[in-house]
Structure formats: structure tokens, C-alpha cells
Amino acid sequence: MSQLPSFDSLKSSPNGQMIRVHAADGTVIVSMGPSFGEWLPYGQIPKVMRDATVSVEDRRFRSHIGVDPVGIARSVKVRFDRGHWTQGGSTITQQLARTVFLNNQKKFGRKFREGILAFALEWKFSKDQILELYLNKVYYGGGAYGIDAASRKFFGHGADHLSLAEAAVIAGLVKAPSNYSPTADAEAAMGRAGVVLETMQETGAISASEAANADVSGLKLAPEPKQNSVRYFTDWALPQLDTLIDETTEPLEVWTTLDLTMQRQADDAIRANAPPGAQGALVALDRGGEVRAMVGGKDYVSSIYNRATQAVRQPGSSFKLFVYLAALEAGHKPEDSIVDEPVTINGWSPRNDSRRNSGAISLRTAFAYSLNTVAAKLGQEVGFNTVADMARRFGITTPVNVHPSMVLGTSEVRVIDMTRAFASVASKGVAVTPYGITRVTANGQTIYTHEVDRSHVLVAPYVAAEMTDLLQTAVNTGTGRAAQIGRPVAGKTGTTTASKDGWFLGFSSGITTGVWMGRDDAKPIAGLHGGTAPAKAWAAFMKPATANRPIEQFDTKVTLPEWQLEPDEKSYFGQPDNGQMAVDPDGNPIEQGQPPVPTDAQTGDTIPRPDADQPEVAPAPPQQQMNQDWIDRVIGRDRREPSPAGRQPLQRDVPRDQVQTQRFQSDQEERPNQ
């Protein structure tokens, strides 16, 4: 007795820490570790629970001294009658001694030690203290230790207000938790509860009418938490507890940002749109950085690898976000003119997907149609180190190379990092940091609360507004048109060499979502482009996710590009955004077979191919273009009036007579496809 721990020491849980994870609406989505609920003092334990336990487990609990001779004698008699042990004859005090100090081996040596410890417990503690320890520590199945954990697991509420029927179910579990668990065999659990009620009536704990009115069959069991895609989120969020709190023993309640409705919508969007054989990932951030949905793959059970937070893949043209951010910060404007022409940088010659060039165009047009030559020229102008610094500034945590080809997204990134970058643009240039844990409580006390930091400004608000202007154009009439959802959207597609990766990232109504699709082995997927399956999955998720939110207009109204440069099927959904150019680790092009025969953009005549030993020369720029004046004449717009966006008419930096040698003389002449 003198060597036994104190009552307070015995109250501590020796079997590990219990963690329950809640969604944003309070729903328990995951329970981890041995499940210990709140410790209920004797006075807070419902009388029906105390009576049910004593009646079915040890009806002479109040009179024996730790070991019940009558119970032992009955157990021995049954052993001789049936030829095997069916009743242990252990008292509540003996069961407590076994739970705390021993194990469940059915040996007489253990039973002897159990009896000695039971005597010591009875000498040191009162009956009420022993019953309190027992009810808060005994195992009830399903990982639940103690009546509060069992009540929460099976009925969805604490044990301080159990009904008679619920108490009968829980009390009946102790004999064989795995056999009588309501979640494993509801019929067996209800049958065992009926036995408990009969025993309570026999011992006088309840009356016959009370037993008859206890509707065991009408009990509603708490649904089991879903263990599929939400585990991608919890696997990412829970390890962060090590840096947020110091508590390692008390049961924890972790409250998170996850929106279960959005999570289901994200699951459906990825599964419905990912090509056969491909995986998909999605991250959705609210305006403060709250992770509302996270999908790391099609099915968590078959693959726990989280492609949203762990996988690193090339982002393709979605990386042009950082190129244009650097250019806008350096002083460029969306209306600025730049010449789309063949360019070679340190031996690297990028090509546009259309394999032709369009002469003098605006930055808005170049971004809308994801022109690679323009991105390369901008990167060279502002400096590739500057672009890399911009990417790191906006939260890219993976290494960023500074080869010229980096402007086309040859550095590998994570989905959550790219989504974070787009969210920071949506936040008007203020840094957005993804987080999943809002607060943590232990025994009802809050030990951690997340605070959103809005103090870190990445770029000036006007730069973010101009970038949003460009991103709107890409969705309204460029490569991301499949992402339209009937409200203002800003976003960008991304496709890598040979369609190995497809991306779409964008924001609307306060939610920023990033979608990636591809194979884990990085093999090509026919038809996978950023503007196809990823953009469609993005729209399939965002349309219901934003349905109950007010429509929010951006600071800059959408402005369409000057003219359409590519056929609809290519510019909207078609070819990879950064062409079929493969590059080596140094950023130099890799020959991939004979290139297609170039043709003149206007006449369709074949351009002679250069000799094999000569460097490839890109097709010459077209000799005539449709310019802004021609469009104004066609639609009858007066150039003297302000544009719908409130801007002055575009003033080109390059004289028209240098970039256009022939004007359309009549509205009746042949026009390009519109």
C-alpha cells in the first residue's frame, strides 16, 4: 500500500496522448492515439452509469475488501461444471489493478498479484475513488479508454449526461469490447445492453418500468469519421503541433480550417476530371490563408502520398506569374507594347506554341495567349535572378534555377506553394501563409490560437492589381477559358513538355485554388494541358465552393487582348502552353526529332528548311497584321472616347510603319478567323 502511487498520479494517462481533430464546423474528422476523454470526477459521473457498472461487473462492490470470495467460488464452480473458465470472478478493484499495473494474461501468478494489489488499493483509497479511477480508465473498445471517450465515440457527446439506455450499452462493453462494440456489431451491443438492464433491475438499481422504458433499440450511434481524403489534410496539419504547443500528455482537441463540404467538392472535381492513369492534387485557400480543402491524390487508402504538399513538379507557364510580376514591378504596364519575334538567349531559342510570331503586341495579349518568346524577353530584361527572387518572395520553397528557360517553368515546385503565390496576388500583394490549425484545447483550456499576419507586403498594391488584370484576361479569352464560372475569375494555366503536367491556378470571391494533374512516374498523358482537365476540375470545384459567397469585382476591370492570335481550339484548350520544347539541366534545348515544316503565316507557302548543319531559323514574322485601328473601324468604336476600362487609347512604343507593311483597305477584305 505504501508503494502505490497517489490518487492524482493514477489519474494521469499512461497509454499515450489522444488527439481529436475537428473540421471548421466542429465535426470530428479524425481521432488519433488511445482515446481518453475528459476526466469526470465521481460527482459528475451520472448515477445510471455508476449503477450499471456496479450491477453488471461487481454487485458486491460496496461490501468486499478488494477480492470477492463469493465471486471466486462461483467462478470455480462454473469451471468444473463446463470444463473451462467462463467467469473470472474479478472485482472492479481487481480489474482496476490489472488495467493500471498488470496485463491480461490468464495465469494464476497474475491473478495472485492482482489480488494483492486490490487489497492495497482498497486500504489506500475509498470506494468512490476506486470507482472513479475505474470508470475513467477501463477500456471500452474502439480505442476508447474511459466512459467519456466511449460516450463521445459511440454517441457523439460527453459522458456527463448519459441516458439509461446509453449507460447500459457502455457498461456492457467491458466484458468483451471487441464483441459488443456498437460500431462492430450493433445487434450484439443492444442485446448485451438488455442483459445489463435486467441485472440493474435484479439489484434494485432501477425499477421494472424504468427498464421497460429504456429504448436501447432506438439509440442513434455517432457516425464514424471519414478516413479518406481528409487524411491528406490531417497528415499535413498535425505534425505542426510539435512547433505550436508543448503539451505531450493531456488529451488534445485540435480545431482546423477544413470545410467538409468543400473537401467533398474537391474530391469529386479531381476524380471526375483527372485523365485515366493520372493523379490529381488540389489546394483551396481562403483569403486569410485558411486551407479549406486539400486533395493529395485520387484515393488516400491506395496512396497516402500527398501530391499537394510533398510532390515537386514543373509548373509550366503558370510560372510566368513571377516573370510578369517582376516586369510590372520594374515599370511595365499591361498596355505596353512588346515585339513578339524570334529570340535566342545563350543558345536557347524558345518557340511559341503556334510556331509563329505576331509582331508588336501588348503585354496583356502576350500573357493571355502565353507567348513564350515574350516571357523570355521579359526575363532577360529584368534579369533571371530577379524572377527567381520574385518566386521565392511569393513563397516558392523549392530551389529555383536561373537558366533562361526558367521563365517557362522548368524549376520544380509544390502545389501548395504555387497556390500560396496566387493567393498573395489576390490579397493585393500582401503575403498569405497557408495554415490548417486555428486553435488547440487541452482539458477545456485553450493552449494555442492562430493569428493571421497581414503585415508582410510582397509587392505594391498597384502591381498586384495589374497582375490581376492580366490573369483575368487569360481566363476570359486566353488559355484558361475553361475555368469560367459565371463570376470574375483570375487565373493561369500551365503545361509542361509532352503534356507530363497540367496546372490551373486562380482565384475568385476570396478563394484561391490550385489544381495539378499528372502521373507519378512523369510519363506523358495524351491530351493533358492546363486549359483542359485541370481548368475544368478547377471550375467544377470553384463554382459550388463560391456559390454562397457574394460576387466580388476585382480592382481592375477585365480588358480583352487586342486581337485573337490563335485558333479557338488552341488558345482555349489546345496545345501545351510552353510548346514542345524540352531542355537539359542547363536550360538548353534538346532536339526531339525533325521539327515541323514552317509555313508563312499569311500565304501558307512553305518556308525552305535550313541546312542540317545550320541553326534552325524560326519562321519570319507575318507581313501584315490586324491592328487596333482596323478593329475600331469594324466595330464602329470612336477612338476619341475613353475605353470601357477607363484607360486612354493604347499608344504603341513601336511605330506602326516599322511593324506593319500593309494595311487593310476595306472592311470587305479577308479577315482572320474570330
Catalytic residues: 57, 317
- From residue 415, alpha-carbon distances to 307, 384, 397, 512 in Å are 8, 22, 11, 12
Retrieve residue 434's grid coordinates.
497557408
SS3 268: helix
Return contacts of 310-313, CB within 8 angstroms, 24+ apart: 310/414, 311/281, 311/414, 311/415, 311/516, 311/520, 312/398, 312/412, 312/413, 312/414, 313/412, 313/413, 313/496, 313/501, 313/516, 313/518, 313/522
- In 414-545, where does DSSP find H-type helix? 415-426, 461-477, 533-545
C-alpha to C-alpha distance for 593 and 615, rounded to whole angstroms = 15
328 with 461: CB under 8 angstroms?
A: no
Owner of C-alpha cell 493523379: 279
Instruction: List residues bridging with 35 in a β-sheet.
Output: 144
Distance spanning both ends of the chain, measured CA to CA: 93
CA distance 546 to 538: 12
Whole-number Å distance between alpha carbons of 459 and 389: 12
- Say how far apart CA 139 and CA 128 lie, in whole Å: 19
Contact 286, 298 (CB under 8 A): no
What is the grid cell recorded at 552?
A: 466580388
In single-letter form, the type of residue at position 209 comes to: S
Q: Residue 52: which residues within 8 A CB-CB, separation 6 or more?
A: 164, 167, 168, 170, 171, 196, 200, 205
Residue with cell 470526477: 41
Residues in the chain: 674
Alpha carbon of 526 to those of 119, 498, 532: distances in Å? 75, 8, 11
Residue 405 identity (one-letter amino acid): S
Q: In sequence order, what are the beta bridge partners of 50? A: none
**Which residues partner with 338 through β-bridges?**
361
Give 271-288 as a DSSP string.
HHHSPTT-EEEEEEE-TT
* Kind plus residue range of the DSSP H or E element containing 117: helix 108-124
Instruction: Please name the residue ranges forming H helices in 319-453.
Output: 320-329, 363-368, 372-382, 384-393, 415-426
Cα 415 from Cα 426, distance rounded (Å) = 17
